[in-house]
A and B are shown apart, each in its own frame.
Chain A
Amino acid sequence: MRGWKVKLNRDIMVAVVFLIGTTVYLSQALKLPPPFKVGEPGPALFPLILVGIMYAASLRILVHGLRKEEKFTATGKNIKKPIAAIGLTALYIGMFSVVGYWASTIFYSFCLALFFEYGKKSRKMALTLSAIIGTAVAFAGYVFFEVLFNIRLPKGGW
């Protein structure tokens, strides 16, 4: 084992994620009636072909990653903001029907605006500007959806 040293890189990580995902998909495909059971191609045939293609492609990516000299380098600085934005979007969707359109949208737009403004201006200025943007975006959405298209947005349980 000592002589065989693998440098973990992004290709290897991506391939492993694909292999896990495909295996989960396969586990569900195997629950379907087998293909050609009654002489006709059943609902499992096409998914099983896709599983085959995905395994082959993932293994190719894995082999490519294993051959690479490049080592995995964490790019934590760049990825932090998008991951925070993903969490924030999930929170927004969760809050949307609970607290209603106005509160959730102002909060969400304020935070997203802050991602772009923070570090460019003073903290006070960035917060003030983001608060204005948050309110303006929520108002624009209200005019666009409720007034213009007559779509009722959730009021929330509050």
Chain B
Amino acid sequence: MRGFVVVFQPTIFPYLVGGFFIGLFFGTVPGLTATLAIALLLPFTFGMKTVPALVTIMGIYMAGIYSGSITGTMINIPGAPAGAMTALEGYPMMLRGEGAKALGHDAFASCIGGVIGAVILMCVAVPVARVALLFQTPDRFSLVLLAVVTVSVVTGGSITKGIVAATIGLMFATVGMDLMIPHARFHFGSARLIEGIKLLPAVIGLFAISEVFRQIEVGWKKLDIVQKIRRRDLIPTLAEIKEIGLKTYIKSALIGNFVGALPGGGASMAAFIAYAEAKRTSKHPEKYGTGILEGIAAAETANNAMCGGALIPLLTFGIPGDAVTAIIFGVLLIQGLIPGGQLITEEIRVIAPMFAALLVSAILCFISMIAFGPYFLRIANLNKSVLYPLIAMIAIIGAYVSGFSMFQVWVALVIGVIAYFLRREGYPIVPMLMGIILGPYLEGYFRRSLILSQSNPAIFVTRPISAALLALAVIFVYVLGVRQPYKVRKLETKTAN
């Protein structure tokens, strides 16, 4: 309750609304994402107080995930990957002249999913955090390893590409002073590299600068406007909601929340699984793909319920599962908060407004659609020759103001160039960010465990929790990285024959 009281204070609420609109804007414009929005905002969180910073980020997160589906429905180009499944049903409805109905249900389902996800987060965060406190050093190593490995396997087109990206990130994390003894590493004779690679230029380089280069390569053309949206058609009727069914909303929210809590899960996967499950159990599976409200409800409920789920491992175990939570991890560090069990148990007064902000932003999804629905297409159609110079400028000046150091700006550029070429060759950059952020933890836990065991690596398999987590990592690699691609290849060969 205290969280809600704080969020609705006149000095805090504008931050939530501001963050929400930033997220809405970045999610709606194709090519811009919530990840990019939070990455660009990161330098400014230095100067903000903890609660306003966290509340703003929650607003961006929820709105960014939700609004990806708006242009997906209107013009079949999702503003963010999370909106792809919604576009499958929303766009055919738009072509039939039912675009407003599709957008209304999109916003309503996002609201329901976001609220359920936030409530689950509020209920389970404290008990899970208490369990997290039982984890000892070898268990923590195995947990971080599980997160890095799973994200690498899930987000890469191939297991090798994901592992390469994560390893490059881990290599970047080793630059600078050693964690345990006063010895500089990988400084190449430069005194400035001894201080290491800071998180902020890394995030800006990976997500903002590389994106500008990518957009310059792709180019820009104006979108085709299909039809106008009338505000009164945006409100879902009770009959339509009944037709979709409470079961669809609740099941999709639970799926989304669970997928969000898995490392590498993410909004796209949540939407895909919930959509597939809704289709499997539907009375009209043949209507899927032709524009059915049930499909929109399942996908949107799941991808917004994912937000609450993704925050569970981040706040309780200190493990980010995707790019957005990895950057939120950075925001928490900037604010002097160490994500993990102690954060929830000891700093609940700071974290409670964050939970409340997530729930309130979910409600704002629906309110914003009713208020601004007819204008969304104009945002999506903004000229990129205005947008990207602005983003590039904010990214570079943002890297500069984070430490008033030109060296950090050069670091951001170098990382941006590396990330651009890696993306161009099909390498995912999320594992690279995970490597940079979690690298010091992975190495620290690894070395401390070996010191505890007098250099005996068996400590990782003799402790039950650690052994279970390592076994889980092996299973994930086998199922997601070996067995699944093999099945896909087999299917492709069969189809080709």
| B437-467 contacts to A (CB < 8 Å) | 442-443, 446-447, 450-451, 454-455
Residue pair A93, B160 in contact (C-beta under 8 Å): no
Residue pair A93, B390 in contact (C-beta under 8 Å): no
A40 touches B (CB below 8 Å):
yes
A49-77 contact mask (Cβ, 8 Å, vs B): 1 or 0: 01001100110110010000000000000
Contacts of A137 in B (CB 8 A): 386, 389-390, 393
B224 touches A (CB below 8 Å):
no
Q: How many A-B residue pairs have CB under 8 A?
A: 150
Contacts of B160 in A (CB 8 A): 57, 60-61, 64
Contacts of A50 in B (CB 8 A): 167, 170-171, 174
B183 touches A (CB below 8 Å):
yes
- The 8 Å CB contact of A36, one of B183, B186, B216, B455, is B455
Evaluate whether A78 and B171 lie within 8 angstroms (CB atoms) in the complex, with A54-B164, A96-B406 already known.
no
Residue pair B164, A61 in contact (C-beta under 8 Å): yes
Contacts of B168 in A (CB 8 A): 54
| B377-414 contacts to A (CB < 8 Å) | 383-386, 388-390, 392-394, 396-397, 400-401, 406, 409-410, 413
Residue pair A141, B397 in contact (C-beta under 8 Å): yes
In order of increasing CB-CB distance, the 4 nearest A-B pairs are A116-B385, A109-B389, A43-B178, A112-B389
Evaluate whether A145 and B392 lie within 8 angstroms (CB atoms) in the complex, with A25-B171, A133-B386 already known.
no
A152 to B181: give the CA distance in the assembly, Å: 37
Q: Across the two chains, which residue of chain A brings its CB closest to B162?
A: A57
Stretch at the interface among B207-215, B228-236, B316-324, B345-353: B207-215
B163 touches A (CB below 8 Å):
yes
Q: Across the two chains, which residue of chain B brings its CB closest to A148?
A: B44
- The 8 Å CB contact of A140, one of B163, B390, B443, is B390
Residue pair A79, B217 in contact (C-beta under 8 Å): yes
Chain B's nearest CB lies how many Å from the CB of A151? 5
Contacts of B170 in A (CB 8 A): 50
Q: Across the two chains, which residue of chain B brings its CB closest to A39?
A: B455
**Given A39-B455, A96-B400, A105-B393; 12 other pairs, CB 8 A cutoff:** A28-B186, A40-B455, A41-B446, A46-B446, A54-B167, A78-B217, A86-B420, A101-B397, A109-B389, A112-B385, A116-B219, A130-B385
Residue pair A85, B385 in contact (C-beta under 8 Å): no
Contacts of B219 in A (CB 8 A): 116
Evaluate whether A149 and B455 lie within 8 angstroms (CB atoms) in the complex, with A61-B160, A78-B217, A133-B386 already known.
no
Can you give 13 contacting A-B residue pairs, CB < 8 Å? Answer: A25-B171, A28-B188, A36-B455, A39-B454, A57-B167, A78-B217, A89-B209, A89-B416, A93-B410, A112-B392, A116-B219, A141-B397, A149-B47
Chain A's nearest CB lies how many Å from the CB of B275? 33
Residue pair B164, A58 in contact (C-beta under 8 Å): yes
B156-187 contact mask (Cβ, 8 Å, vs A): 1 or 0: 00001001100110110010001111010110
Q: Across the two chains, which residue of chain A brings its CB closest to B418?
A: A21
Evaluate whether A82 and B214 lie within 8 angstroms (CB atoms) in the complex, with A18-B164, A57-B163 already known.
yes
A47 touches B (CB below 8 Å):
yes
Q: Across the two chains, which residue of chain B brings its CB closest to A97?
A: B406
Residue pair A145, B397 in contact (C-beta under 8 Å): yes
Interface-centre pick from B170, B214, B416 (highest chain A CB count, 10 A): B170
Residue pair A116, B216 in contact (C-beta under 8 Å): yes
A10 to B179: give the CA distance in the assembly, Å: 37
Chain A's nearest CB lies how many Å from the CB of B138? 13
Evaluate whether A41 and B451 lie within 8 angstroms (CB atoms) in the complex, with A25-B186, A112-B216, A116-B219 already known.
yes
Chain B's nearest CB lies how many Å from the CB of A20? 13
- The 8 Å CB contact of B406, one of A61, A93, A129, A133, is A93
Residue pair B394, A141 in contact (C-beta under 8 Å): yes
Task: Count how many chain A residues have C-beta atoms less than 8 Å from C-beta atoms of the other chain.
Answer: 61
Residue pair B443, A46 in contact (C-beta under 8 Å): yes
- The 8 Å CB contact of B393, one of A46, A57, A108, A129, is A108
- The 8 Å CB contact of B413, one of A79, A89, A134, is A89
Residue pair B386, A136 in contact (C-beta under 8 Å): yes
Residue pair B389, A113 in contact (C-beta under 8 Å): yes
A58 to B164: give the CA distance in the assembly, Å: 8
Residue pair B385, A92 in contact (C-beta under 8 Å): no
A46 to B50: give the CA distance in the assembly, Å: 34
B417 touches A (CB below 8 Å):
yes
A34 touches B (CB below 8 Å):
no
Residue pair B385, A40 in contact (C-beta under 8 Å): no
A145 to B164: give the CA distance in the assembly, Å: 37
Residue pair A115, B216 in contact (C-beta under 8 Å): yes
A99-129 contact mask (Cβ, 8 Å, vs B): 1 or 0: 0010001001100111111000000000001
Chain B's nearest CB lies how many Å from the CB of A124? 16
Contacts of A14 in B (CB 8 A): 425
- The 8 Å CB contact of B217, one of A40, A81, A97, A141, is A81
Interface-centre pick from A45, A61, A86, A138 (highest chain B CB count, 10 A): A86
Interface-centre pick from A25, A42, A60, A116 (highest chain B CB count, 10 A): A116
| B177-202 contacts to A (CB < 8 Å) | 178-181, 183, 185-186, 188
Q: Across the two chains, which residue of chain A brings its CB closest to B388?
A: A112
A5-31 contact mask (Cβ, 8 Å, vs B): 1 or 0: 000001000100010000001001100
Evaluate whether A53 and B212 lie within 8 angstroms (CB atoms) in the complex, with A81-B217, A82-B420, A93-B396 already known.
no
Chain B's nearest CB lies how many Å from the CB of A63? 10
B220 touches A (CB below 8 Å):
yes
Contacts of A151 in B (CB 8 A): 401
Q: Across the two chains, which residue of chain B brings its CB closest to A112?
A: B389
Contacts of A101 in B (CB 8 A): 397
A153 to B216: give the CA distance in the assembly, Å: 27
A105 to B396: give the CA distance in the assembly, Å: 10
